[in-house]
Each structure stands twice: as C-alpha cells, then as structure tokens.
C-alpha cells in the first residue's frame, strides 16, 4: 500500500511542478477533453437508459409514463446538441398517439435544427416516418429540402408528385413525374403513374399514351394493364381493348390473365359467340377453375345451346352432388328445353338443400308466373322473403314490387298495395314505386289517392312518360282539367314521339278540346303504330262521327267491338258500353 501512495505522490509532484506545467499545456488540454468526454459519455448513457425505459413503458401499455420518459430522453439529448433519429421516432409516435399534433410539428423543426446535415438515407427514413404524421405543407417543405440536396432520388420525386396530386396540383405532379421519366426512361413506374394521373383528370388520350409506354416496357405489369383496361372500358373503346388483348395473346396464346380479360370484355359487349370461344379455352387450360366452368355453362345457356352441355352438367353434378350452382344450371337447361316439371323439381331440391339460395326461388316463382299459377308464385316469393336474410334494402323493395304484381294478378289488389307501400318505405323517392301505387289506387277506385301519387311520381321525375300519359289520359276519361291533361300528354309525346299509346292519348285530348281534324291526324298516326287496338279504334270511330262521316265511324266502331271480343276483357273500364252506344248512334 505504501508503494502505491509513493507512486501517486511522485505523479502529483511531476504534474504540479512548474517546469512540467510550463512545457506541457497540451497535457492539460488532453485531460480536460478526456474528462468532458467521460461526462458526455455518461450523459449519453443516461439518455439511452431513459430511451430504453420509454420503449418498455410503451410496449407494456403505459403510454402516459412512456411519453414523459421519452420527453426526458430527447431533452437530455438536446442538452448535448444531439437528437438521434430513433429517439425522435419514438417520441413523435407517442405524440401522434396522444393527439398532440401541434407539438409534433414543432418537434420536427427541432429535429431538423439539430440535424442539419441529413444523409439521403436519413431523409428517406424521416419522410417515411412523417408521411402520416405531419401536414402536407410541412411534408412538402421537407421534400423540397431533400430534393434540393438529392435531386435524382426516385422516392423523393414520386412522393413529391403524390403530394401534388393529393392537393389537386396536377401540373406540379405532372412536372415531377416527367422529370422522373427523363431521369429513368427505362423505369416503368414513371410512365404508369403519369398515365394514372392523366386518367384521373380525364385526359384519356395522354393516359392511354403513357400507360401503353409502361406496357411496352413490361406487358405483364398488372397495374398498368388493368388501368388501361379500365380506361378503355370507361370510354367504351372496346375495339382498342380487344386489339390490345389479342396482340398479347398472339405472343402468349395461353396467358390466363389476358384470356380472362378478353372474356370479360366480350361479356360486357354482349358478344357471346366470341365469349364462348374464349371461355372454352380457359376451361381447357384450367379445368378445375369452377368460376369459369360455371361461366361457360351460362354462356351456352345465353346462346340457347343448353342441350349441348346437358350431359356435361349431369356428369359434373355426379362428381359434386351438392354444388348448388351446377344444379341451378341444370334447372335452367330444363327451362330452356321447356321441361318445366323437371326444372321445378331441381329448384325445389336446391331450396331444400339451402333455404337461402335466392336464385332458385327466383326461377321457381318465374316458372309459376309464366304458367299463370300466381298462387304458387306468391307462396315462393313469400317463402324467399322469410328465408333470405341478405337482401339489400333496394333489392328487398324490388321483391315487394314483384310480389305485389303477382297478388294483383290474383285479384288481391289491396294486399298488393300493402307490399308496394313496404317498398316505398324503403325507397320513398322512387318515382316508379309511386307510379305503381297510383295505378293500384286507381284500380280500387280511389282516384284522389291515385292522383296524389301520380303527381308525386312526376315531381320526382319530370320526364316520367308513363306517369305523364297515365295522369293526362285519366283526366280526359274523367272530363277533369282537359287543358292540364293536354299539357301532360304533349310532354309525354315530346319525350317519346314513337309511342303509339301516347299519340292515341294526344289525339283523344284534341277530341276532348273539340279540335276533331287535329285529333284525327294523331289518331291515324297511332293506328299505324298500334294496329287494331279496341280503345284506339273506338277513338277513331268517335272522331269520324264528330266529323260527320257515319260510314267510317260505324266501320271503326264495329272493328273495335270485334277486337274487344278477341281480348275477352276490357282494357279500359266501360269501353264496351261506349262502343255499343256509338254503333247505335251512327247506324
């Protein structure tokens, strides 16, 4: 121990001797620096200790305590004129979580003030971190700084273009994307993004140009391919899309992506024969893809070639006896072959297997409806409404309308009206539903209500020709406000000048106004379009009677009576009596 003390004593004597101090100032400087570094190192260690503590508290869910710990960390680093990215990152994450957005933006400025010489990687990390945290304005300034120092960085250029696009500064976005393309002419990204930009602002020709350039670099780049497909479909440039896909298929005839898109195109354009050829090839290449197998069968049904696939469908059902889609197709084939009993049996089987299979109910109800078995159709639809739980509101309204029509056919008009009201409660501003309700009220003799709903339908859709004509013609029948009736019917004829029923109504309106020659002009025009309609023939007879030509009047009255007998019912209440009275007058 004495030896150590002696050594220390000698050392201090040397250090503090005047000659050593005079000649060795460098040593003092070194000692001060050494001691400062030791102190700084200790402070950094303490800061990192707080940073580890902050991480731990955040991971364990103590967010408030984590924020305090992170604040302590960054303050210690700032006192040392340091601000490491990892500490900044944790701190701003916590500020964002706590909703301290104003403080977060100020903290970004403090970080940039401390770290003035950011590398390209530093800027990248910082921009990626702050992308969702700060205002676009601040992010823009940061990107501008990054691009000033690193003007050819791909990510910075693309991010700047994105920010310009999001803020609807399209010329700015265009500028940076064009710069990207000039720097990287072989990179598909610039062409694709510029094409997308032009597509979004309606510059379809430029969009097409740059998307095609992208596809020239890489025809298999799906984002560009699907963008130009969407562009051609939206602008109805179907031929261009067909030619593009066929050109790709010429090089790769078995490319499933191209074949699928070509099939979808033909389906959209209704070119079912072409669609058939494509789907046949898809099924051959991918026989286990059930979607396209089902699509193939539907195409054959669409082309009325159900008989050609009957055995294939039966074979597939033997392999997959519980496949409801295949069973439905079998039912549709039977329907197409007019084997309604077999189709009915299949649809009932499907419903038994799955009480919520909507399409089977649809087809079963349709079979009964077309065969005039409205009672059974009613049961099927009510069963569907009870068992199918996935209707959208609008879809459910449509089924209520369908059911109301069936009930009307059964003579259950009041019950049908209740279902129409249910549909209206779902879609109150639907002019069609208001119109249907008006017709039902008219059928049960409540003209006041019928008129109310007709006027509402026209208010909702001023161009609703059926409602315009119905209201106008009914006013004529009731000899009620003839001028208004004429105005409504003239509007209907203006909107649909080829509709014979509307022209007939207009002729009858002029008859009611006493303008018989003008009435005759329109009624003869209606006759050419409608042929031997009993009501319209009665109108012609009445006009000729007023014009004093009893022979022609009698001729048309007798024709009207003959056609009425063929129908076996009155298309207009009281029309038979009117015809008979007309005949009596002119004989």
- pLDDT tens digits, one per residue of 403-458: 999 999 999 999 999 999 999 999 999 999 999 999 999 999 999 999 999 999 99
pLDDT at residue number 47: 62
Q: Which two structure tokens, joined as six digits, stand for 122?
A: 């530093």
The confidence band for 16, taking pLDDT boundaries of 50, 70 and 90, is: very low
Round to whole Å and give the CA distance between 52 and 46. 10
Q: Which two structure tokens, joined as six digits, stand for 570?
A: 């009155």
**pTM value?**
0.63
Q: Which two structure tokens, joined as six digits, stand for 83?
A: 């601000």
* Chain-centre distance for alpha carbon 280: 29
Round to whole Å and give the CA distance between 28 and 121. 40
Tokens 């001028």 -> residue? 483
Q: Which two structure tokens, joined as six digits, stand for 299?
A: 């195409």
Burial 264-297, CB ≥16 within 10 A → b, else e = bbbbebeebebbbebbebbbeeeeeeeebbbbbb
Kindly tell me if the per-residue pLDDT of 24 is higher than 70.
Answer: no
Round to whole Å and give the CA distance between 352 and 327. 12
- pLDDT tens digits, one per residue of 298-323: 999 999 999 999 999 999 999 999 99
What is the number of other CB atoms lying within 10 angstroms of the CB of residue 234? 10
Q: CB within 8 A of 16, min separation 6: which ones?
A: none
Round to whole Å and give the CA distance between 455 and 459. 6
What is the number of other CB atoms lying within 10 angstroms of the CB of residue 225? 22
Question: What are the CA-CA distances from residue 461 to residues 400, 428, 464, 484 (Å)?
Answer: 21, 13, 5, 17
The confidence band for 289, taking pLDDT boundaries of 50, 70 and 90, is: confident
Mean pLDDT of 115-128: 81
Kindly tell me if the per-residue pLDDT of 465 is higher than 90.
Answer: yes
In degrees rounded to 5, what are phi and psi of residue 323? -80, 105
Q: At what angle do helices 550-567 and 534-546 cross, to 10 degrees?
A: 170
Which of 150, 149, 192, 201 shows the shortest CA–CA distance to 172? 201
pLDDT at residue number 360: 95
Check if the beta carbon of residue 359 is closer than 8 Å to that of residue 326: no
- pLDDT tens digits, one per residue of 40-94: 445 566 666 666 776 766 677 777 877 877 777 777 777 767 767 777 777 777 7
Mean pLDDT of 513-523: 95
- pLDDT tens digits, one per residue of 205-252: 999 999 999 999 998 899 999 999 999 999 999 999 999 999 999 999
Where are the chain's structural domains?
463-514, 532-587
- pLDDT tens digits, one per residue of 316-348: 999 999 999 999 999 999 999 999 999 999 999
**Is 121 or 20 the better-scoring residue by pLDDT?**
121
Kindly tell me if the per-residue pLDDT of 506 is higher than 90.
Answer: yes
pLDDT at residue number 326: 95
- pLDDT tens digits, one per residue of 381-396: 999 999 888 889 999 9
pLDDT at residue number 64: 82
pLDDT at residue number 290: 87
Kindly tell me if the per-residue pLDDT of 133 is higher than 80.
Answer: no
The confidence band for 398, taking pLDDT boundaries of 50, 70 and 90, is: very high
Mean pLDDT of 354-363: 93
Q: CB within 8 A of 61, min separation 6: which ones?
A: none
What's the sign of the alpha-carbon dihedral 188, 189, 192, 195?
A: negative
The highest-level CATH class for domain 532-587 is: mainly alpha
Least reliable range by pLDDT among 112-121, 467-476, 550-559: 112-121
Average pLDDT over the chain reads 87
Q: Where are the alpha helices (DSSP H) in 444-533?
A: 447-460, 465-477, 482-495, 500-512, 516-530
The confidence band for 489, taking pLDDT boundaries of 50, 70 and 90, is: very high
Check if the beta carbon of residue 167 is closer than 8 Å to that of residue 136: yes
Q: Report which listed range, 15-29, 123-137, 284-298, is most confident.
A: 284-298
**Is 5 or 160 the better-scoring residue by pLDDT?**
160
The confidence band for 511, taking pLDDT boundaries of 50, 70 and 90, is: very high
* Chain-centre distance for alpha carbon 58: 41
Q: Which two structure tokens, joined as six digits, stand for 202?
A: 């309606």
pLDDT at residue number 124: 83
Check if the beta carbon of residue 108 is closer than 8 Å to that of residue 138: yes
CA-based radius of gyration for the chain: 41
């Amino acid at each position: 121990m004495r030896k150590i003390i002696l050594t220390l004593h000698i050392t201090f004597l040397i250090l503090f001797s005047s000659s050593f101090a005079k000649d060795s100032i460098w040593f003092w400087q070194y000692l001060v620096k050494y001691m400062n570094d030791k102190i700084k190192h200790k402070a950094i260690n303490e800061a990192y200790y707080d940073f580890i503590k902050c991480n731990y508290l955040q991971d364990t869910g103590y967010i408030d305590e984590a924020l305090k710990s992170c604040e302590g960390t960054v303050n210690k680093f700032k006192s040392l004129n340091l601000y490491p990215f990892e500490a900044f990152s944790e701190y701003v994450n916590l500020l964002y979580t706590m909703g301290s957005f104003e403080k977060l933006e100020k903290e970004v400025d403090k970080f940039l003030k401390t770290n003035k010489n950011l590398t390209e990687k530093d800027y990248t990390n910082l921009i990626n971190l702050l992308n969702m945290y700060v205002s676009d304005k601040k992010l823009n300034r940061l990107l501008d700084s990054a691009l000033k120092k690193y003007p050819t960085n791909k990510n910075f250029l693309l991010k700047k273009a994105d920010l310009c696009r999001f803020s609807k500064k399209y010329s700015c976005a265009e500028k940076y994307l064009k710069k990207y393309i000039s720097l990287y002419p072989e990179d598909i990204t610039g062409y694709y993004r510029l094409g997308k930009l032009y597509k979004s602002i309606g510059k379809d020709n430029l969009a097409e140009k740059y998307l095609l350039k992208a596809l020239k670099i890489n025809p298999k780049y799906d984002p560009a391919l699907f963008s130009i497909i969407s562009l051609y479909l939206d602008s109805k440039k179907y031929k261009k899309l067909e030619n593009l896909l066929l050109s790709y298929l010429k090089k790769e005839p078995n490319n499933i992506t191209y074949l699928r898109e070509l099939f979808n195109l033909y389906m959209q354009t209704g070119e079912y024969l072409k669609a058939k050829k494509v789907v046949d090839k898809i099924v051959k290449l991918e026989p286990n893809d059930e979607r396209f197998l089902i699509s193939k069968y539907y195409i054959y049904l669409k082309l009325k070639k159900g008989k050609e696939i009957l055995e294939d469908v039966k074979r597939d059902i033997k392999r997959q006896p519980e496949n409801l889609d295949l069973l439905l197709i079998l039912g549709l084939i039977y329907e197409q072959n007019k084997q309604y009993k077999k189709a009915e049996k299949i649809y009932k089987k499907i419903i038994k297997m799955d009480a919520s299979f909507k399409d089977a109910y649809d087809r079963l109800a349709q079979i009964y409806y077309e065969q005039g078995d409205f009672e059974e159709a009613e049961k099927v639809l009510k069963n569907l409404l009870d068992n199918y739980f996935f209707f959208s509101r609008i879809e459910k309204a449509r089924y209520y309308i369908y059911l109301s029509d069936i009930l009307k056919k059964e003579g259950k008009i009041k019950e049908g009206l209740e279902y129409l009201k249910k549909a209206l409660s779902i879609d109150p501003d639907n002019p069609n539903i208001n119109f249907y309700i008006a017709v039902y009220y008219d059928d049960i003799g409540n003209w006041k209500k019928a008129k109310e709903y007709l006027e509402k339908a026209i208010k909702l859709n001023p161009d609703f020709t059926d409602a315009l004509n119905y209201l106008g013609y009914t006013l004529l029948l009731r000899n009620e406000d003839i001028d208004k009736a004429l105005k409504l019917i003239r509007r209907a004829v203006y909107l649909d000048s080829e509709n014979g029923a509307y022209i007939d109504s207009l002729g009858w309106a002029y008859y009611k106004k006493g303008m018989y020659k003008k009435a005759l002009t329109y009624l003869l025009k209606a006759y050419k379009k409608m042929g031997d309609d009993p009501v319209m023939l009665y109108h012609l007879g009445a006009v000729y009677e007023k014009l004093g030509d009893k022979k022609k009047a009698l001729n048309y009255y007798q024709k009207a009576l003959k056609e009425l007998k063929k129908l076996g019912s009155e298309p207009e209440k009281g029309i038979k009596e009117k015809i008979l009275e007309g005949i009596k007058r002119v004989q």
